[in-house]
Structure 1
C-alpha cells in the first residue's frame, strides 16, 4: 500500500549498488591520461623556487633576520631582586635589595675601579723605581766628583810630609808656623769632602736596604701563595747549590720569586727523573711473569657450545638455526 507523499517508482537500492560496481570496473580498465601540467618535460621544474621567491611572508622574515644585530648584547632579565650586604653610614652591617641592572652596574664600576687602581699602583711603582734610579745615579756622580776633588786638592796643595815639617820647625820656626796653619785649613777642606762622601754612601746603603726589604716582602707574599716557606726555600737553595755547584752566598741577593719557582721546578724535575730511573731499573730486574692466557672470543665460545650439543644429541631447531 502506498503512503501519501512517497514516490511510487522509487529505485531499488540493489540496482544502485550494481550500477556503482559496474562503473568502478569500467574506470579501472580505462587508460589513465596524464593531466596537463603534471607531465614531466625536458626543462627543470622551478615552481618551488618561484613560489619561495614570491612568498611575501618569507621575505618579511628574512628582512627581520637581516635587520637584527647579531652583536647586540642580550637584554638582562628584569624583575630580579638580590640582597647585598653593605656597610651603613654608621659603619654597621646592613642589607639592601637591588635589581639586576643595579647589580651589574655596580659590578662594572667595581671592576673598573679595581683595574684603574692596579694600573695606578703599577705606574706609581714605575715612577718610584725611575726616581730611585735617577737619585742613585746623581749620588754616584757626587761621590765620584768628591773623590776627584779630594785627590786634586791633595795633589795641588803640596803638603809637606811629617819629616819635612819637623826639619822646617828646626830651621825656620816662622815658616813652620805658616805651613802648619795652611796644612790645617787644607785638611779641614779634605775632611768636609770625606764626610760628605760618607753621608752619601750611608744614605745609598739605607735606601738600597729599604728597597731590598720591600722586594723580599713582596717575594715572600708570592712564594707563600705557592706553599713555599723558609724551610722549603732553604731546601731548594741547597739542592741547586749541590747539583750545579752554586755558591750559597749568591742566594742572599735573590729577590725575584719567579727565579725561586724556576729553581723549584728544576729540583722537582730532577727528583722525578731520578725516581723514574730507579723504578725502571727495579722493573727490569724483576722476574718475568708468565704470559696470561687470552680469553676466547664470544663467537668461538658460542660455536663450541653448539658443537657440544650436536655431538651429544641435545641440539634443537633453534641451535640448528644458530649454527647455520
Structure 2
C-alpha cells in the first residue's frame, strides 16, 4: 500500500524517489532475513534437512515489483480531500504543464516585445507632434519678429535693433533644430515602410514560388504582370508597391485572360481561312421493282398499275 502524503514536500520527495529501487527491502532480501527478527544461531538438525529442503521448494517466489510508472501516489489536501494518482499520469501532467508554461512564457515575451514597439512608436508620434507644433509656433514668432525689426530705425535705436536681430538669430537656430528632428522622423518612418514592403514582397515571392504557387514564377513572369497592370492603368510606382500574393494572383489571372482574348480573333480567322472539304459522295442504291411499281401507282392509281403492284407483292 502506498505511503500517505500529507505535505507538498513529501509529495515531491515521493515523486522524485519513485524511480529509485527500494534499497532497504533489497538489503533485507539479500540478507535472507527481515530486519529486526532475531537470528537463530543454532545449527539445523541433520535429520530435518530433507524436510526443510522440501518446504523451501514449496515456497512461492515473490512477485516481480511493479514498474515505477505504475506506483500510486496518494495525498490529502488541507480540506481533507484525498487523491490517488499513478506516477505515469503525474509525469504526463507535469509534461503538459511544462509545455503550457513554455508557451505562456513565449507569448509573454512576444507581447512584451510588441508592447515595447508600440510604446516606441507612440513616443515617436508624440515627439513628432510636439516638434511640429513647436515649428509652427517658431515660424509665427520669426515672422512677427521680422516685422518688428523692419519697424526699428537702426540709427536712432541701435541697441533695440541689435537685440531684436539677436533674438531672431536664436529663433532661427531653434527652428532649424526642430525641423531637423522632424526630417529625421520622416526618414525613419519612410525606411520602416520600405522595410515592411520588402519583407512582404519577400514572403509573397516565397509563397508564389512554392509547391502551391504559380508555375514559371520569376522575373520574366513579373514583367508580364507589370505590362498587364499598365494596360489597366496602374503606374509603375503602384505596381512596385504590390506585396500581397492574392493581388499578384489576380494580376496573373488577368494576364492569362488578356492573352486568351488576344488569341481568339486569330483562331476564328484561322478557322474561316481553312479550306472547305467536299462532302463525301454516297452512291445511291437503285430502286427495286416493287418500289418502282409502288411509285408508279402512287403517281397514277390505275387498275393496270395496281395489278402490277399486287404481282410484285405476291413475288416478295
The TM tier, using the shorter chain, reads 0.3 to 0.5
Specify which structure has the bigger relative contact order, considering alpha-carbon pairs within 8 angstroms and separated by 6 or more residues: 2
TM-score, structure 1 length as denominator?
0.44
